[in-house]
A and B are shown apart, each in its own frame.
Chain A
Amino acid sequence: MELENEIHYMNRPLGQAFMSLSRGKKDRISGFARRVCELHTKMEISIEAAWHKCLEEFRSQWPIHREEWDLLYCIGEVLGKTDRENQSSFLSLMREKFAVREKAAEEDRTKKDKLYKNLGVLGGLAVVLVLI
Chain B
Amino acid sequence: MQDKILLKNRFVSEVLQFLPYRVKQSLMQTDINILIDLEEIRLRSGKPAMLHYRGTDGFLHENGRILGRPSNILVSAEELADTVYKFCENSWYAYQEDISKGFVTIKGGHRIGIVGTPVIKNGSVFNMRDISSINIRFAREVVGCGERTVNYLINGNRDIYNTLIISPPGLGKTTLLRDIVRCLSEGFGSFSGVKIGVVDERGEIAACCKGYPQNDLGSRTDVINGIQKKNGMEILLRSMSPCVIALDEMGNPEDVSAVMQVMNAGIRIIGTAHGYDLRAVKMRKGFYELFEDKAFERFVIISVNTKLQYCVKVLDGDGNVLDVEYQSGRKHSYSSKFNNGGLCVLPAAYRTGGMHTGDSGISDGTRK
A interface vs B, CB < 8 Å? 7, 11-16, 40, 44, 46-48, 79-84, 86-87
Say yes or no: B90 contacts A84, CB within 8 Å.
Answer: no
- Is B257 engaged at the interface, CB distance under 8 Å to the other chain? no
Say yes or no: B88 contacts A84, CB within 8 Å.
Answer: no
- Please pick, from B17, B94, B126, B210, the residue contacting A11 in the complex, using a CB distance under 8 A: B94
In the docked arrangement, what's the CA distance between A36 and B290, Å? 52
Say yes or no: B93 contacts A46, CB within 8 Å.
Answer: no
Say yes or no: B89 contacts A14, CB within 8 Å.
Answer: yes
Which residues from chain B contact A15 at a C-beta distance below 8 Å? 89-91
B interface vs A, CB < 8 Å? 17, 86, 88-94, 96, 126-127, 210
What 9 additional pairs, Cβ within 8 angstroms, besides A7-B93, A47-B90, A83-B126? A13-B94, A16-B89, A46-B86, A46-B90, A80-B90, A80-B92, A80-B93, A83-B96, A84-B96
In the docked arrangement, what's the CA distance between A48 and B86, Å? 12
Which residues from chain B contact A87 at a C-beta distance below 8 Å? 93
Which residues from chain B contact A84 at a C-beta distance below 8 Å? 93, 96
In the docked arrangement, what's the CA distance between A48 and B306, Å? 51
Say yes or no: B89 contacts A83, CB within 8 Å.
Answer: no
Say yes or no: A13 contacts B127, CB within 8 Å.
Answer: no
Chain B residue nearest in CB terms to A45:
B90
Say yes or no: B93 contacts A16, CB within 8 Å.
Answer: no
Which residues from chain B contact A86 at a C-beta distance below 8 Å? 93
Which residues from chain A contact B92 at a C-beta distance below 8 Å? 80-83
Say yes or no: A14 contacts B17, CB within 8 Å.
Answer: no
Say yes or no: A83 contacts B93, CB within 8 Å.
Answer: yes
Say yes or no: B127 contacts A14, CB within 8 Å.
Answer: no
In the docked arrangement, what's the CA distance between A84 and B96, Å? 8
Listed by A's residue number, 29 A-B pairs whose Cβ atoms lie within 8 Å are: A11-B93, A11-B94, A12-B94, A13-B88, A13-B89, A13-B90, A13-B91, A13-B94, A14-B90, A15-B90, A15-B91, A16-B89, A40-B90, A44-B17, A46-B86, A47-B90, A79-B90, A80-B90, A80-B92, A81-B92, A82-B92, A82-B93, A83-B92, A83-B93, A83-B96, A83-B127, A84-B93, A84-B96, A87-B93
Which residues from chain B contact A80 at a C-beta distance below 8 Å? 90-93
Chain B residue nearest in CB terms to A16:
B210
Which residues from chain A contact B93 at a C-beta distance below 8 Å? 7, 11, 80, 82-84, 86-87
Which residues from chain A contact B90 at a C-beta distance below 8 Å? 13-15, 40, 46-48, 79-80
Question: Which 10 A-B residue pairs are closest in the complex by CB-CB distance?
Answer: A13-B89, A13-B91, A47-B90, A84-B93, A80-B91, A13-B94, A80-B90, A14-B91, A83-B96, A87-B93
In the docked arrangement, what's the CA distance between A117 and B279, Å? 91
In the docked arrangement, what's the CA distance between A80 and B90, Å? 6
Which residues from chain B contact A12 at a C-beta distance below 8 Å? 94
What is the minimal beta-carbon distance from B151 to any residue of chain A, in angstroms?
Answer: 41
What is the minimal beta-carbon distance from A51 to any residue of chain B, in angstroms?
Answer: 10
In the docked arrangement, what's the CA distance between A87 and B96, Å? 12
In the docked arrangement, what's the CA distance between A18 and B311, Å? 48
